[in-house]
Chains A and B, each alone.
Chain A
Amino acid sequence: MDFFLEVLTGGLLAGVMYSLVAIGFVLIYKASGVFNFAQGAMVLFAALTFVSLVERGVPFWGAFALTLAAMVALALLIERAVLRPLVNRSPITLFMATLGLSYVIEGAAQALWGAQVHGLDLGIADEPLELGGMLLSQFDLFAAGTAALLVALLSFLFNRTRLGLSLRAVADDALGALAVGIRLPRIWAVVWAVAGFVGLVAGLLWGARLGVQFSLSLVVLKALPVLIIGGFTSMTGAIVGGLIVGAGEKLAEVYLGPLVGGGIENWFPYALALLFLLVRPAGLFGERAIERV
């Protein structure tokens, strides 16, 4: 039983890390209906920029501020160069644009900062912590706390500020929002900048865990089933989806894996997501699209 609980807790904590990436997707999807495939590349870009600045002697918070500025600049550039020319195009066109964008950002990050792997130390010890007979990771607990704080901040932004009201208005009805004077390009730029900030936080935590390297952009593959299960439009959904995926894949690997030769952690979340798609296509917390035909 102890072992089961240990696997379950480890899985839930790993799931929070997936949620961190998924939140970036939700932000952009909520505000513009775009599934931003470049979110993983943004995570890589942010982490690589941060670590390269630190290695060049910039202090931690200075590097954080400069990277955030770079992410905002990137957001403005994306809005101006990619989204604005494609306004009113179909969602699939915008999706393809973000797919291309991900390659551009990945290439640019490597061209700018080099291809080598960097270590990233956030100063959080990763000694195992024994709680009730279970070994827990201090780092994972810190990551879970960070994710909770991030969700609280974003919820405040969305629900308690004037900007959040504009964001929700655009998400509900872009044309209606335009009609009442909300400037769509500004909203998009803000959303992409906030997604850049989320990418930076995710990049730092994932980078501290994996090392800052190209594989950071692959963490999006873990976020996809999270989004399908939790729903594309809900931050709560991203958190719950992450927890389900994290716990599900770990338990499956340990208890089902040996029966089928192991190594099922990669596809199991997708199988789970497929089941959810059949039963609840909009995800647990997603908004059901109702269209007049």
Chain B
Amino acid sequence: MKHATFRRVAALLVAGLLAGGAHAANEQYFPLQSYRVGPYAAGGTGFFGGFIDYLQYVNAKGGVNGVKLTWSECETEYVVEKGVECYERLKKGLNGAPAAATNPLSVGIAYATLDRSTADKLPLITINHGRTDSTDGSVFPYVFPLQLNPYSEVSAIVNYIGQKSGGLDKLKGKKIVTLYHGSPYGKETNPILELLAKKYGFELTLIEVPHPGNEQQSQWLNIRRIKPDWVILRGWGVMNPVALKTAKKTGFPVDHIIGNIWSNSEDDAAPAGDAAKGYISITTHPSGTQFPVLQDIKKTVIDAGKGNLADPKRFGNVYYNLGVVNGILNVEAVRLAQAKYGKKPLTGEQVRWGFEHLNLDDKRLKELGAYGLVQPLKLSCADHEGGGAVRFQQWDGSKWNVISDWVQADRKLLRPIIEESSKKYAKEKGITPRDCSKES
């Protein structure tokens, strides 16, 4: 009797395992190093909410050529050590479903897992952030600072200021202050700003705000003394609303402050209340819910009660839409790679090929319902960024309104600097760069 029971239980277990295995055999896994608590939870919940909702939407449409997408989360609290621990825990996949790529949305975690990602042959996606020189895919085959690297970001901002001044030649003699977060992220673009100041003849002052930036009186009094034409705000978290409030307090016009890509969300402007009215920032993806892909997500995911956001009012905000854009780019990479390697779950190495061959033109973006939400993007072995353009948006007191067309960074100017830096990295690490002319 005991034996019979044991055999029955064993048979059930084996059947279950086989079923589980069969289930996982047609799944592609996304390991998510998310952060839903801690100081940056507002960004984390929005971004990973949008990302997960897009994956759910794709699954509701039958997956990627029948391959279902699966994911699991590991809480990093935006702490680097936890991010690395999560990476190690999740990189091997889930129930047999191979991992496609990691998307930590953290400069610190991205830097800490960069070498591991290359060794493990797992793409590391740093959308709108990360190491600028990782744009050079010949040295960084597994790293993708998609859409916008930090150098492109400031170059586009200077180009916009040039446009507003009546041409880049009119920048000569202008005064620009950059107020930056006191961290490696904040300092990353200082050398490029200095280079652009030399090239265009504007007077640049760099002013640091120590982390977290909840007190900026002295910095803004200094700015008032300098009387700049424009202030570029390279902030993060609480530093942004405090900058706007202190600017108003010290009498600096907020519509002459341009926020960078991490100073551009509703969470950066709204807490500053009236002080933020007129504030300008860059964006790679407008907020709003009018895009067809977002309407479809609403119908199939949100209205079905499956949305990932705790507060559905955040649907369509800047962080959420960045998550959706990130989802689109990840899924497109898988789709492309499937066209080459077969309609099945793929290894990270195969998905890497997909990322490197992303080519989203207006036609494809319209098919995806993401025209206007995602910029046209073409990646290659040599260019892991792809876009390098931004639009400008202005806060009206309750929402962002896009006020410009795409403004392109001066990528020709930036390319030699990026290559110089990536070559230096390759030499330090003993990496032989790939010959991109031989890559297909």
Interface residues in chain A, defined as those with a beta carbon under 8 Å from any beta carbon in chain B: 3, 6-7, 10-11, 14, 106-107, 110-111, 114-121, 126-128, 135, 137, 139-140, 206, 209-215, 218-219, 222, 249-250, 253-254, 257, 261-267
Q: A119-B241, A211-B238, A215-B237 known; 11 other A-B pairs, CB under 8 Å?
A: A3-B225, A7-B217, A10-B217, A119-B273, A120-B271, A126-B249, A213-B39, A214-B41, A215-B212, A249-B218, A257-B218
Q: Which residue of B lies closest to A264 (CB)?
A: B210
Q: Interface of B with A (CB < 8 Å)?
A: 36-42, 44-46, 182, 206-212, 214-215, 217-219, 221-222, 224-225, 237-238, 241-242, 245, 248-251, 267, 270-273, 275, 310-311, 314
Within 8 Å CB of A135, what residues of B? 224, 249-251
**A128 and B271 form a contact (CB under 8 A):** no
A262 touches B207 (CB 8 A): yes
Collect the chain B residues with CB atoms within 8 Å of residue A218's CB. 39, 212, 214
Residue of B whose beta carbon sits closest to that of A130:
B251
Decide: A222 and B215 in contact? CB cutoff 8 A. yes
Shortest distance in angstroms between A266's beta carbon and chain B's nearest beta carbon? 4
| B211 (CB) vs chain A CBs: closest residue | A266
In the complex, number of A-B residue pairs with CB atoms less than 8 Å apart? 126
Complex Cα–Cα for A10 and B219 (A):
11
Shortest CB-to-CB span from B318 to chain A, Å, is 12
Which residues of A have CB within 8 Å of B250?
128, 135
A212 to B42, CA, bound (A): 11
Residue of A126, A219, A250 near B217 (CB, 8 A) is A250
Cβ contact within 8 Å between B275 and A126 = yes
* Chain A residue with the shortest CB-CB distance to B269: A119
With a CB–CB cut-off of 8 A, which chain B residues contact A262? 206-208
- From residue B278, how far is it (CB to closest CB) to chain A in Å? 15
Expressed in whole angstroms, the Cα–Cα distance for A7 and B216 within the complex equals: 11
Contact assessment for B267 and A261 in the assembled complex, using a CB-CB cutoff below 8 Å? no
Which residues on the B side are within 8 Å of A254 (C-beta)?
218, 221-222
Establish whether residues A7 and B218, one from each chain, have CB atoms under 8 Å apart when the complex forms: yes
Closest-CB distance, B222 to chain A (whole angstroms)? 6
- Assess whether A265 is in contact with B237, with CB atoms less than 8 Å apart: no
Q: A215-B39, A219-B214 are in contact. Are A210 and B275 (CB under 8 A)?
A: no
B271, A118: Cβ atoms closer than 8 Å:
yes
Best-surrounded residue of B36, B40, B218, B242 (most CB of chain A within 10 A): B218
On whether the beta carbons of B37 and A250 are closer than 8 Å, the reply is: no
Central interface residue in B210, B217, B221, by most chain A CB within 10 Å: B217
Q: Is the CB of A107 within 8 A of B221?
A: no
**Complex Cα–Cα for A264 and B219 (A):** 11
Asked if A214 contacts B39 (CB within 8 A), the reply is yes
Contact (Cβ within 8 A) A265 B218: yes
B210 touches A263 (CB 8 A): yes
Q: Within the complex, which residue of A116, A127, A210, A253 is in contact with B311, where a contact is CB–CB below 8 Å?
A: A116
Q: Which of A14, A106, A120, A262 has the most C-beta atoms of chain B within 10 angstroms of its own C-beta?
A: A262
Across the two chains, which residue of chain A brings its CB closest to B44? A115
Report the minimal beta-carbon distance from B339 to chain A, rounded to whole angstroms. 39
Q: Is A265 touching B238 in the complex (CB atoms < 8 A)? A: no
CB–CB B248/A126 < 8 A = yes
**Does the CB pair B249–A137 fall under 8 Å?**
yes
Other-chain contact of B45, A111, A116, A121, A253 (Cβ < 8 Å)? A116
Question: Whole-angstrom distance between the alpha carbons of A204 and B357 in the complex?
Answer: 51
Interface residue from A119, A250, A253 paired with B271 (Cβ < 8 Å)? A119
B218 touches A253 (CB 8 A): yes
Residues of chain B within 8 A of A14, CB atoms compared = 215, 217
**Cα of A254 to Cα of B36 in the assembled complex, Å:** 37
With a cutoff of 8 Å between Cβ atoms, the chain A residues found around residue B46 in the complex are 116
B310 touches A114 (CB 8 A): yes
Q: Is the CB of A215 within 8 A of B238?
A: yes
Task: Report the bound CA distance from A128 to B249 in whole Å.
Answer: 5
Are A117 and B271 in contact, CB atoms less than 8 angstroms apart?
A: yes
- Alpha-carbon gap, A215 to B236, bound state (A): 11
Q: Is the CB of A265 within 8 A of B215?
A: yes
**Are B42 and A10 in touch, CB under 8 angstroms?**
no
From B217, B251, B270, A117 is in contact (CB under 8 Å) with B270
- A213 and B45 within 8 A (CB): no
Bound-state Cα–Cα, A115 to B208, Å: 27
A211 vs B273: C-alpha distance when bound (angstroms): 9
